[in-house]
Amino acid sequence: MGLIENFISVLKNFRNFSGRARRREFWLFYLCFAIINVVFQVLGAIPGIGSIFGIIGGLVSLVLLLPSIAVAIRRLHDIGRKGIFLLFFLVPLVGQILLIIWWVKEGDSGPNSFGPDPKAA
């Protein structure tokens, strides 16, 4: 599955906070999210019409907030952590570093309490 297909798959699955998400699904979604944000930042710097792109970029980020939270929680489920651990992001530096370490970590092999192994599917 390519970058765009993965991004669309996460968008379609935005209401699902249960189950597990592979590292690839998580990181490709955030890569595409970052690319979209950079494009709108560059377009927002254009004199005269930049403010329109700034507003559109803000709205796009707001729309993508729920899918990004859902895929982050499913990624935590893949390593056997509860979704509440996503609140560690609110702890400056230490919590954010801990979450990044968990998101990089390989998921549990085989089924865990959050569902079957997504690699096996």
What number is the average pLDDT over the span 8-23?
92
Flag whether pLDDT at 115 surpasses 70: yes
Domain presence at residue 121:
no
Quote the pTM value.
Answer: 0.90
Q: Among candidates 19, 16, 35, which has minimal Cα distance to 27? A: 35
Amino acid sitting at position 116: P
Q: Above pLDDT 90, what percent of the chain? A: 81
C-alpha torsion sign, points 70, 72, 76, 78: positive
Domain that holds residue 97: 3-104
Residue 73, both tokens: 């929680």
Assigned domain for 109 exists: no
Domain count, the chain: 1
